[in-house]
Amino acid sequence: MGDTNVGRPRGRFKTAVAVMIAAATVAGALITWRISVEGGKADAADAQGLAAALNSANTAISVSTYLNNNLGFFVSYRQHLFSAELMEREAASPAAASRKESLRQAARRERNLAATARAYVDADYLEVDPSDGREYFNGNRFWDAQWASARARMPQDEQPFFARADAGRMDCRRLALAMVGLGAALFLFVASHTAGRRRFRYFFAGAGMLLFLASGAAAVLVTLAR
């Protein structure tokens, strides 16, 4: 009868330890799953960051090309217009009476060339300089508008994605540390289950319980912080 009474506490202890071993195993599986999920999110954020960086580079090339094209055609427009005005002034002077008709024809050609060049300029960004009444191409406004349009279509800033990836990998490292703690707790539970002396059993079980609670709490905090 006495042996039965002594055996019951030890039997209950072993049952409790077995339950903790199972709990630590399940918690470890959950943390492993969370590490996998966070790692996948970090990889996806990295891919999005690279895509955004490529978008930004392509946009810079595209906008620069279109801006240079517009500026080139606008400069050509102004040059032909300036030449036409010079010829028209010269044709109006008495000294050029003998060349008046040829100068006027040349001026008309220059104005036609100026009109052709102006047709290739994005008219939305042509403005009038109040100081002299002449048109000018607002390159700064063109640049800002094209970039704003590109950002509305697709991401252009890679930094938020890379920051998200770094945060995800940091969470993976923290969860891995929690996993190490759970592994140590599992080892202590097994040791308490097999220890011969009563005080060793309770010491290992207590230490394992502390590690289990600390590691589980850390894993929960990391998960909730996201």
Which whole-number Å values give the CA distances from 213 to 106, 178, 204, in the listed order?
Answer: 92, 10, 14
- Residue whose C-alpha is closest to residue 21's, from 220, 223, 194, 222: 194
Q: What is the mean pLDDT of the chain?
A: 90
Eight-class DSSP state of 98: G
Quickly list H helices, 93-158.
100-119, 139-153
Which whole-number Å values give the CA distances from 184 to 12, 118, 152, in the listed order?
Answer: 23, 77, 51
Q: What is the pTM of this model?
A: 0.72
pLDDT in tens, 28-65: 999 999 999 999 999 999 999 999 999 999 999 999 99
Q: Look up tokens 């959950």; give the residue.
A: 30
pLDDT in tens, 185-203: 999 998 987 777 788 888 9
- Ordered by where they begin, the domains of the chain are 12-225 (1.10.287)
Which whole-number Å values give the CA distances from 38 to 3, 183, 222, in the listed order?
Answer: 52, 20, 11
Residue 140 and residue 31 in contact, taking contact as beta carbons nearer than 8 Å: no
What value does the mean pLDDT take over residues 138-166? 95
Residue 42 and residue 85 in contact, taking contact as beta carbons nearer than 8 Å: no
